[in-house]
Amino acid sequence: MAVQEDQVVGISYTLWDGEGEELESRGDDEPFHYLHGHANIVPGLEEELSGLEEGDEFDVELAPEDAYGEYDESFLYRINREDIPSGMELKPGMPLELAPEGQEGMRMLVYVKEVAGDEVVLDGNQPLAGKHLRFKGKVVEMRDATDEEVEHGHAHTGQHHH
Ligand code: ZN
């Protein structure tokens, strides 16, 4: 059986950025599960895993366009400190959930980029946008997805619960 669309695949991996700094690691005993062919993972990694079999190893370097995309300056927002609850301590890198005005039920995840006096700069880019990444790991296990998983577009093994 090879990794293909509608397979739930469990991989172990270590992720480094372009400077060689380790960002994440998952061992063989705690694989990360995803549904193949549904853009659950970055496109370059999904392509690399296609056709691999259980036990196969991979080691791939991805440019930003094959990973989390280029960094986009237009996703930077400047707001007043007073628009954020005052008890909240703001630190660079901290995630914040915003509810844009006039868009019922919408939530936007942004990161604090900079706090300069009364002004806060928020960054709507994915934290790994613009970065070169290296994934090295192994296909630990795989199985056919259930109809429900295919319908939902994600795996139900692992951290995903309804
Ligand atoms: Zn689901």
Q: How far is the CA of 145 from the centre of ligand 1 (A)?
A: 11
Angstrom distance (rounded) from CA 33 to CA 51: 16
Q: What is the mean pLDDT of the chain?
A: 93
Distance 162 CA to ligand 1 centre (A): 7
Q: Could you give the C-alpha distances from 151 to 42, 123, 145, in angstroms and in order?
A: 20, 32, 10
The amino acid that residue 35 corresponds to is: L
Alpha-carbon distance 128 to 45, whole Å?
14
Is residue 104 within 8 A of residue 114, CB to CB? The reply is no
Counting residues of the chain whose pLDDT is more than 90, the rounded percentage is: 78
Q: What is the pLDDT of residue 89?
A: 83
Which of 28, 65, 66 has its CA nearest to residue 45?
Answer: 66
Q: What is the pLDDT of residue 70?
A: 96
User: Cα–Cα distance between 27 and 29 in angstroms, integer?
Assistant: 5
The DSSP-derived string for 59-82 is EEEE-GGGTT----GGGEEEEEGG
Residue 47: strand, helix, or coil: helix
Give this prediction's pTM: 0.83
Q: Tell me how far the alpha carbon of residue 151 lies from the centroid of ligand 1, in angstroms.
A: 8
- Rounded Cα gap, residues 64 and 74, in angstroms: 17
- Cα 88 to middle of ligand 1, angstroms: 33
DSSP string, 102-157: T-TT--EEEEEEEEETTEEEEE-S-TTTT--EEEEEEEEEEEEPPHHHHHHTS--S
77 alpha carbon to ligand 1 midpoint, in Å?
Answer: 33
| pLDDT the model gives residue 102 | 76
Quickly state the pLDDT bin for 16 (edges 50, 70, 90): very high
Predicted confidence (pLDDT) per residue in 72-95, tens digit: 999 999 999 888 877 778 899 999
